[in-house]
Chains A and B, each alone.
Chain A
Amino acid sequence: DADVTQTPRNRITKTGKRIMLECSQTKGHDRMYWYRQDPGLGLRLIYYSFDVKDINKGEISDGYSVSRQAQAKFSLSLESAIPNQTALYFCATSDARVSGTNNEQFFGPGTRLTVL
C-alpha cells in the first residue's frame, strides 16, 4: 500500500546537536508538510513544499530548515536543537491533482524527539 514513512520514530538528543528527521512517501503526491504537535497546542505547521523547487515557511519555522530532495522525500533539520523543540513531529502529504483548494492530507506515524 502507498504510504508515508518517517525515520527515526524516536530520537533523544542533546542541546546544540544537529538533527535530521526524514519523511518518505510512495503515494506519488507532490505536496508535503512538516508539523509539530505539543500537548495542549495541537498541530502547528513548520514548513511545506508543493513540489521539489518549492519550499515555504509555515507558522513556526524558526529554528528549523527543510530539504525536498525528491518528490518523495522531505527532510526536516534542527540545526542546533534546544529543549523546547521536544515534541512529536508529523510529516504529511497531499495530492494537488485532487480537485478542491484544500485537499486531504495523509499523515505519517510521527517522530518523537526529545532534546535534553
Chain B
Amino acid sequence: AQRVTQPEKLLSVFKGAPVELKCNYSYSGSPELFWYVQYSRQRLQLLLRHISRESIKGFTADLNKGETSFHLKKPFAQEEDSAMYYCALGTGANNLFFGTGTRLTVIP
C-alpha cells in the first residue's frame, strides 16, 4: 500500500540557515512526488513536483528512489518560508496521498 511519511510535525530554523523537510514514501509502482505548501490564511498550493526538476522560491527536492525519499531543501531560509508543508505521492490515477505535514517556522 502507498504511504507518505513526514517524520517532523514541527521544524524551526533561524533565518539564513539551511532547511530540510523530510519525506519518505512507500509505493510499489512508479511514483510521482510533490510538495504542497499552505501559507497562513492562504490555500494549499503546489510548490514543486519532482518531474519538473525546478527550483521554486529557492526550494529544491530530488527524488531518491533508492532511499524512497523526496526531501525538500533550501540553503537559506527566509521568514516568508514559514508555512505548513505537505509531501504528496501520485500513484498514476491522478490521486494524491498526502503526508501528515511539517509546520516550518523561520525565526528572525
A residues apposed to B, CB below 8 Å? 31, 33, 35, 40-45, 48, 50, 58-59, 90, 94, 96, 100-110
Give the interface residue-count category, chain B. 20 to 34
Q: Is the CB of A94 within 8 A of B94?
A: yes
Q: A40-B9, A42-B101, A44-B98 are in contact. Are A102 and B45 (CB under 8 A)?
A: no
Q: Which interface residue of B6, B94, B97, B100 has the most chain A CB atoms within 10 A? A: B94
Q: Is the CB of B95 within 8 A of A90?
A: no
Beyond the given A42-B6, A102-B95, A110-B43, please list 9 additional residue pairs across the A-B interface where CB-CB is below 8 A.
Answer: A43-B44, A45-B95, A48-B94, A59-B97, A94-B94, A101-B92, A101-B94, A107-B45, A109-B43
Q: Which interface residue of A45, A50, A105 has the most chain B CB atoms within 10 A? A: A105
Q: Is the CB of A105 within 8 A of B96?
A: yes
Q: In the complex, A15→B86 CA distance in Å?
A: 31
Q: Which interface residue of B4, B49, B98 has the most chain A CB atoms within 10 A? A: B98
